[in-house]
Amino acid sequence: EERVSAEKGVREQLLLDRIAAKEELDVTKEELDRAIEGMARESGQSPAAIRQELKKNDSLKSLKTEVLRRKSLDWVYERTNIC
């Protein structure tokens, strides 16, 4: 069951990545800044400290990918009528 769940998650991520590429979605500096500010609020640290930690761990690209996938999902929701 865990494997099936993991495979589903990977397929969902790949689909969101394909949507982002096809629709030419990208993450702006402002969107990345907002994500960092949200992480800072949740952790009680400053945005500068969070950014420094992300750079130190080479994790800025991962955060950008996460923000882009959320943006892709928002794109899908905006174009579907799910009741």
The model's pTM: 0.86
Residue 4, CB-side half-sphere exposure with 13 Å CA sphere:
1
Q: Are 16 and 73 in contact (CB under 8 A)?
A: yes
Please, what are the averages of pLDDT over each run of 10 residues along the chain (83 residues)? 92 97 97 97 97 96 97 94 67
